[in-house]
């Protein structure tokens, strides 16, 4: 029986309740629903601050029941070194979508990390070459780690190179995840060389200057650009988008804050040059990869419906498992 009141769930609660396999399944389901036109459009609002920013992402989703969720996230890249705080902090409020009652308030960090990694893996499943065996991760924080964990759930990755401006971070990443995943992982400092050798490249950094160049990329590569989730962030050279196939999570959103935004601003592409939204590919509205030599770029800015579906999954497991603390705000 559903509890009467609002369930409070900490980051530890969420982490204990949500696996990356469940995240992948939930996120793939919601992208398919979105691609089939069976969801209402998600919303986003961004507010800039001196050393970072805040964004609110919200959406309504009909699953076995109707859910609404709003996520408030703070993103301050300097936090880990300056204040010993996470880069991303925030909360998700989950409500019943039919009558509005607040069902849960939960920490957003774990959900944001997992649903973003899940989207990257799902995009690779549909857009990378099926025989992909090598990967490069640019950015060795939490998002880089979950991206690789998720990627290994959908493809047989045998060798990984990891790159970070902080070499100690990339070395720690390589050491820890090689043992966990049982694959060869090497920390590298020469980005260009290892981009050329990688079937899949994932960028998940807070960069505000493009560092991933068009000339680095070999034919047949799949690139997931994850870091640009505000108009100031940028990882890819805009010319890379102008010559290759672009798939986005949400077209309007990517045009405003993603890598597509920068290519549009440079006058190198138009909106019509964007091939598809990922949901359209998953739903079969448009084909994914059509040749082994095409370069495909996935511009991932984070769709609010990913938060709704994963928060709903966490809430339902919490109710079934008796997890969390029940509060009554009335």
Residue 328 tokens, joined:
């009554």
Specify the pLDDT at position 80. Answer: 87
Rounded Cα gap, residues 197 and 287, in angstroms = 26
Which of 73-77, 164-168, 296-300 comes out lowest in average pLDDT?
73-77
Report the half-sphere exposure of 112 (CA within 13 A, side-chain side). 27
- Give the span between the Cα atoms of 2 and 322, in whole angstroms: 10
Contacts 24+ apart (CB under 8 A), 94-100: 94/67, 94/68, 94/69, 94/308, 94/311, 94/312, 94/315, 95/67, 95/68, 95/69, 96/65, 96/66, 96/67, 96/68, 97/60, 97/61, 97/62, 97/65, 97/66, 97/67, 97/68, 98/65, 98/66, 100/68
Strands 245-248 and 296-299: parallel
Q: Any idea which residues carry the catalytic annotation?
A: 71
Q: How does pLDDT run across 259-282, given as a tens digit for each residue?
A: 999 999 999 999 999 999 999 999
Least confident of 75-89, 175-189, 283-297: 75-89
Percent of all residues in the chain with a pLDDT value above 90, rounded to a whole number: 91
Quick one: pLDDT band at residue 90, thresholds 50, 70, 90?
Answer: very high
Question: What pLDDT does residue 198 have?
Answer: 98
Contact status, residue 143 vs residue 80, Cβ threshold 8 Å: no
Q: What's residue 101's pLDDT? A: 95
> What tokens does 93 get?
């409020």
pLDDT class for 312, splitting at 50, 70, 90? very high
pLDDT over threshold 80, residue 72: yes
pLDDT at 87: 86
* 244 pLDDT higher than 90: yes
Cα gap 148→158, rounded to integer Å? 11
Mean pLDDT of all residues belonging to the chain: 96
CA–CA gap between residue 325 and residue 176 (Å, rounded): 33
CA 176 to chain centroid, in Å, comes to 22
Q: Which two tokens stand for residue 81?
A: 């070194």
Structural domains for the chain:
6-112+305-327 (3.30.1780.10), 123-302 (3.40.50.720)
DSSP label at 111?
Answer: H
Q: How far apart are the C-alpha atoms of 185 and 171, rounded to whole Å?
A: 9
Structure tokens at 62: 């009909």
| 84-110 average pLDDT score | 95
Give the residue-averaged pLDDT of 183-212.
Answer: 96
Record the pTM.
0.94
pLDDT score of 330 more than 80: no
47 DSSP β-pair partners: 54
**CA-wise closest residue to 314 among 15, 6, 3:** 15
């Amino acid at each position: 029986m559903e509890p009467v009141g609002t369930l409070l769930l900490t980051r530890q609660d969420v982490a204990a309740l949500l696996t990356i396999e469940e995240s992948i399944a939930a996120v793939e389901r919601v992208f398919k629903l979105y691609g089939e036109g069976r969801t209402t459009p998600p919303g986003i609002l961004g507010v800039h601050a001196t050393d970072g920013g805040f964004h609110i992402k919200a959406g309504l989703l009909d699953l076995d029941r109707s859910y609404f969720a709003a996520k408030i996230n703070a993103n301050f890249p300097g936090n880990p070194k300056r204040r010993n705080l996470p880069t991303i902090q925030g909360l998700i409020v989950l409500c019943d979508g039919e009558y509005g009652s607040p069902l849960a308030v939960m920490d957003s960090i774990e959900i944001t990390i997992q649903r973003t990694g899940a989207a990257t893996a799902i995009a690779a499943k549909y857009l990378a070459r099926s025989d992909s065996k090598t990967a490069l991760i640019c950015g060795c924080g939490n998002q880089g780690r979950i991206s690789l964990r998720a990627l290994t759930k959908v493809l047989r990755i045998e060798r990984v190179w990891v790159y970070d401006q902080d070499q100690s971070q990339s070395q720690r990443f390589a050491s820890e995840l090689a043992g966990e995943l049982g694959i060869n992982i090497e920390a590298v400092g020469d980005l260009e060389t290892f981009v050329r050798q990688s079937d899949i490249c994932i960028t998940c950094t807070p960069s505000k200057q493009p560092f991933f160049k068009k000339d680095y990329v070999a034919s047949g590569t799949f690139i997931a650009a994850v870091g640009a989730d505000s108009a100031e962030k940028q990882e890819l050279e805009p010319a890379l988008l102008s010559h290759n196939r672009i798939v986005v999570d949400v077209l309007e959103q990517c045009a405003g804050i993603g890598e597509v935004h920068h290519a549009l601003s440079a006058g190198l592409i138009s909106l019509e040059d964007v091939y598809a939204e990922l949901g359209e590919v998953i739903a079969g509205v448009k084909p994914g990869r059509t040749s082994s030599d095409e370069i495909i770029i996935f511009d991932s800015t984070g769709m609010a419906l990913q938060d709704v579906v994963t928060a709903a999954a966490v809430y339902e497991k919490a109710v079934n498992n008796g997890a969390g603390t029940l509060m009554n705000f009335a």
